[in-house]
Amino acid sequence: MKRDRLPEVPPIPAAHTMRRCLSILFFAFLMGCASAPPVPLPATTDFDDNPKARETYLKAYTRGYRAGLSGEYSVWDGPNNIIAEAFAMGWSDGQIAARLDEHRKFIERMKLDK
């Protein structure tokens, strides 16, 4: 039994391949930017009197909030200074806030379903 040969496929031009790759990366970037939820930052923190610690707290809060939405859980144990404490507290406070927000949204959906 003789096997048929597959037809030869012409090579794809490099410019076309590069354009396709860049398009895919661009749309993936846009989807990533669009999917990040806004993080409701607290108006006051325990670190308001220290600008560096407050900045660290709010950055960690944002990261912790997003991690909390995804179900990620972390415990921080690091050096004992004000910046490390601000980071650890910001992260955990952000996680808690995200979970509370998700819980509130779930309760609202349950009320609407009735």
pLDDT in tens, 72-102: 766 666 667 888 889 989 989 999 999 999 9
Residue 19 lies in a domain: no
Q: Give the orientation angle of helix 51-70 with respect to helix 82-113, to 10 degrees.
A: 40
Quickly count: other Cβ atoms within 10 Å of residue 90's Cβ: 29
**Do residues 50 and 22 touch, judged by C-beta distance below 8 A?**
no
Residue 1 has pLDDT above 90, yes or no: no
In a domain, 99, yes or no: yes
Determine the Cα–Cα distance for residues 101 and 68; give it in Å rounded to an integer: 10
Q: How far apart are CA 65 and CA 96, in angstroms?
A: 7
Q: Which domain holds residue 99?
A: 38-113
Above 80 in pLDDT, residue 111?
yes
Domain count, the chain: 1
79 belongs to a structural domain = yes
Asked, for residue 73, whether it belongs to a domain, the answer is yes
In a domain, 3, yes or no: no
Residue at token pair 């406070």? 93
> Residue 43 has what pLDDT?
92
DSSP SS3 for 46: coil
